[in-house]
Amino acid sequence: MDAVAPDGLEPALSMPELPEVEITRLGFADRIAGAVIERVFMGKPLRWPLGCAASVLQGQRVLSVGRRGKYLLIHLERGLLLVHLGMSGHVQFADRLPERGPHDHVELHTNLGMFRLHDPRRFGAVVYAPLGLDDPVAHKLLGRLGCEPLESGFEPRTFHQALQQRRSPIKTVLLGGDVVVGVGNIYASESLFMAGIRPTTPANRLSKPRAARLQAAVVSVLRQALAAGGSSLRDFKHTDGQNGYFQLDAAVYGRTGEPCRVCATPIKTLRQGQRSTFYCPQCQKP
Q: Could you give the residue numbers annotated as active site?
A: 16-17, 70, 275
Q: Would you list the DSSP string of 16-40?
A: S-HHHHHHHHHHHHHHHTT-BEEEE
Nearest alpha carbon to residue 70 among 169, 4, 133, 2? 2
Cβ atoms of 222 and 22 closer than 8 Å: no
**Residue 24: alpha-carbon gap to chain centroid:** 10
Q: How many CA atoms lie within 13 A of 196 on its CB side?
A: 10
Nearest alpha carbon to residue 271 among 199, 187, 168, 195? 199
CA distance 105 to 112: 20
